[in-house]
Amino acid sequence: MPRISLWADLPPGVRQHLIDRMRDRDIGISDLNQLRLWIESQPEVPEGPRYKDFGTFKICGHGKFPKTFLLKGQAAKGTAL
């Protein structure tokens, strides 16, 4: 199983998309700190679509790359982590 990519390893387009979604969806500093701690733990993630629910938001991705943020009530696809 792959491990989630660190921020520095993300392609520039993916990084910018995530920044845009953070702003659009008003994801706060405390939320981002939860995300940072999870990513720094370098968890294993499935090869296909997946998401991690942090309570106030979800991060969705595919394989080692995060792809977007969803708000609390938005439906996510893939394997729940």
| Predicted local distance difference test score (pLDDT) of residue 34 | 93
User: Is the pLDDT confidence value at 1 over 90?
Assistant: no
pLDDT of 4 over the 90 cut: yes
Average pLDDT over every residue of 50-75? 94
- Is residue 52 predicted with pLDDT exceeding 90? yes
Kindly report the average pLDDT of the chain as a whole number. Answer: 93
pLDDT attached to residue 55: 92
Please say whether the beta carbons of 9 and 39 come within 8 A: no
Mean pLDDT of the region 37-47: 94
